[in-house]
Structure 1
Amino acid sequence: MTSRHPIKALWRRLTPAPTPSHSRLSRDPSIKQRTSNTGKLMLSVAVLLSACTGITDLSARPQDPVDRRYKIEEVRFAGGPGVTLAGELTMPQTGGPFQAIVLISGSGPQDRDEALAGHRPFLVLSDHLTRAGFAVLRYDDRGFAESTGTFETANLYDFADDAAGAYRYLQSRPEIDNAAIGYIGHSEGAYIAPVAARQTDPAFMVFLAGAARPLFPDVIATQSADLMRAQGADEATIDAAVTQFHAGSSILKQQAPLSEIRDDLDNYLTSQGMGRRDRREVLDQFATRWGVSHANYDSRAELRSLSNPVLALLGEKDLQVSAKEEAPAMRASLRHPGSEVQVIAGANHLFQPSQTGLPSEYSDIETTISIDVLNRISTWISAL
């Protein structure tokens, strides 16, 4: 696998239905045997899930906007150094200056619509917010679709530079109220927004399925354990996988050249019985500038430093970012008295009404984003 680009075939290979081998493994006293059998599954499942899910058939969904009766403008603007981002700015037909919002996508290369699993969440969200009276800017990630730059070598801070560039572009527009620009970040976008806020001082932020705890090892380990448990894996297998994530994260945290970190992680995975091809996939995902930047990112401290109000929404059934773990951590970290943390009953990582929360369910659900969630977002920002 190259970088964090989702691959449907890999998803099918890595998410098999539970088999009797799970019960056999639970009776095997050898930890090494368990890690050998689960290492490839666990670390690669996290690779896939951290990239959300792959783009699949993008046939029309019920919430896809059909009649967009507002201003729509194709725009280009400077992101981080040497990067030109392409996107779309939407605004009401009349009025202004407008409150404005920059949308920041989750992990993996995403287009301006954050198209995934047959849905266009950012298109639906921007349509709702523009009809509610806001200006909305969404953009293709660097190195993807119409934006320039390189995605594969970018880290957390590069993506934050891009988001800050989008913010500054809005500041340059006379139709925008410069004192009322904010960020909405989905998934990894909720890590990126606070870093971008260091440069731009947004009026507000909304975190959609964003984590307060560090991505490595906490969120990734919980994510993989929850997914394995939902698929019927036994606790011994899950514990072995979580141990791997903690060990691997410690390696990523080393203050050493990237080449040394890569060698150390490769040696560790070899000791766990992982084959060369699968090791390469994991190394290309995690032993990168992106992985190292997240491994050393103090997300809780970043949240505590925020001086602006935050609305954090989490899905009760989200198996990628656990509401059970993240809601209390988020409440303890946010200091602004206007901040709120809400858990949406029955919602998954995309804020769809969900039965299981499994990523394999995303494309089967016709709803792109719950109407209730859309209304919570626009109502909260309007009240500011």
Structure 2
Amino acid sequence: MTSRHAIKAFWRRLTPAPTPSQRQLAQKPPIKRAISNTGRLMLSVAVLLSACTGISALSARPQDPVDRRYKIEEVRFAGGPGVTLAGELTMPQQGGPFQAVVLISGSGPQDRDEALAGHKPFLVLSDHLTRAGFAVLRYDDRGFAESNGTFETADLYDFADDAAGAYRYLQGRPEIDHSAIGYIGHSEGGYIAPVAARQTDPAFMVFLAGAARPLFPDVIATQSADLMQAQGADEATIAAAVTQFQVGSSILKQQAPLSEIRDDLDDYLRSQGMGRRDRREVLDQFATRWGVSHANYHSQAELRSLSNPVLALLGEKDLQVSAKEEAPVLRASLRHPQSEVQLIVGANHLFQPSLTGLPSEYADIETTISIDVLNRISTWISAL
């Protein structure tokens, strides 16, 4: 086990202050206050993992469905142990049994619409798929909106249990083709779906901005580097930030009680000049069952073990999940002959047409999801 003293010896010096452009982004939602040095970059990324949920919908977007002429049913079903999830099942008015999909949201507490940055991506996606002839089940995350349970203490495997519960609920519905149920996971949902597949053997999966490499340290380190580079940070500052995530990830990987992991990470953050309040925010995000489960999750091995066809879509301008880094690993890891990895030119993490890919741009873009992406998803599933 890595000792606290060894961690401190690995990294003792304070890192330089951020550029003015970094301060400007830090003042935008969802980052709560300015970051005084890159030793506090973990704080900004911790809040960014909530996927801009702090920016609520203020007005309707052009793609928000208005005339939903299909079956709409409020449902409740069992998720993981002791958890009841609330959601909405939509189905075409005529026909059946239907191919069906379970929508799995990204990181941070999300409602059934995955409402963020003034958009409702899952509502738009479910509307498109239902009109295309599919049944769609989307649900509020545990402990959020109308679902019970506790979000803060849940880990990757708890969220997979919830997704598997949604799948089993569809299996109990006579309107559903039980051999044609799949998962669509956005962002962290791309990690959750393969774990849920251990229990349910879905007919297919779609990863929307899902990563193949581990979240800690690979995806987080690349994310922080890409965001800082987009804001004009110098190479030394970026390298220091990447080092911090690598060290922090090594702490999370320790085979030790969670309390000891928190103490070790707290010591390391203190050595980086981070104040007590900011350290607590980072610890509450990363030094948790969720953080430890991701730090020890072997994502590539999980992908290689899949026997299901997967469609993986990546945004070329995505600064949260790098298409450049993830696409080759996804192509090497997905074994099913019908699996595809597709790059969406000009798209960001939400699959909006984007100029910069920066999260601060999400709310300013009127498009919720590219129509091309919607069509790619429904066409690929139909072809199966």
**In 1: Cα distance, 2:192 partner to 2:37 partner:** 34
Q: Which residue of 2 aligns with 1:284?
A: 284
Q: 1:9 to 1:183 in 2, by over 3 A?
A: closer
**How many percent of aligned residue pairs carry the same amino acid?**
87
SS in 2 for 1:69: coil
1:102–1:184 Cα contact (<8 Å) kept = yes
Equivalent runs, 1:112-151 vs 2, <5 Å: 112-151=112-151
Deviations 1:155-185 (A, max 9, x none): 0000000000000000000000000000000
Equivalent runs, 1:36-47 vs 2, <5 Å: 37-40=37-40, 42-47=41-46
Deviations 1:343-374 (A, max 9, x none): 10000000000000000000000000000000
1:209–1:314 Cα contact (<8 Å) kept = yes
Q: Which residue of 2 aligns with 1:361?
A: 361
TM-score, normalisation: structure 2: 0.91
**In 2: Cα distance, 1:83 partner to 1:186 partner:** 22
Deviation at 1:13, TM superposition (A): 2.7
1:101–1:134 Cα contact (<8 Å) kept = yes
**In 1: Cα distance, 2:121 partner to 2:179 partner:** 27
Q: Which residue of 1 aligns with 2:300?
A: 300
**In 2: Cα distance, 1:214 partner to 1:268 partner:** 22
**In 1: Cα distance, 2:367 partner to 2:103 partner:** 20
Q: Which residue of 2 aligns with 1:155?
A: 155
Deviations 1:183-214 (A, max 9, x none): 00000000000000000000000000000000
Q: Which residue of 2 aligns with 1:330?
A: 330
1:82–1:149 Cα contact (<8 Å) kept = yes
SS in 1 for 2:277: helix
TM-score, normalisation: structure 1: 0.91
Equivalent runs, 1:63-142 vs 2, <5 Å: 63-142=63-142
Deviations 1:41-68 (A, max 9, x none): x211211222211232331000000000
Q: Which residue of 2 aligns with 1:380?
A: 380
Equivalent runs, 1:107-256 vs 2, <5 Å: 107-256=107-256
Deviation at 1:9, TM superposition (A): 5.5
Kindly tell me the number of residue pairs found equivalent between the two proteins: 357
SS in 1 for 2:33: helix
Q: 1:370 to 1:239 in 2, by over 3 A?
A: same
Amino acid at match of 1:53: C
Deviations 1:279-335 (A, max 9, x none): 111101000000000000000000000000000000000000000000001101101
Amino acid at match of 2:320: Q
**In 1: Cα distance, 2:30 partner to 2:375 partner:** 36
1:50–1:220 Cα contact (<8 Å) kept = no
Deviation at 1:274, TM superposition (A): 1.1
Q: 1:185 to 1:39 in 2, by over 3 A?
A: same
Runs of 4 or more above 6 Å deviation: none
Amino acid at match of 1:52: A
Q: Which residue of 2 aligns with 1:49?
A: 48
Deviation at 1:14, TM superposition (A): 4.2
Q: Which residue of 1 aligns with 2:317?
A: 317
Deviation at 1:8, TM superposition (A): 6.3
2:75–2:88 Cα contact (<8 Å) kept = yes
1:101–1:135 Cα contact (<8 Å) kept = yes
Give 5+ residue unaligned stretches, structure 1: 1-6, 16-35
Q: 1:155 to 1:136 in 2, by over 3 A?
A: same
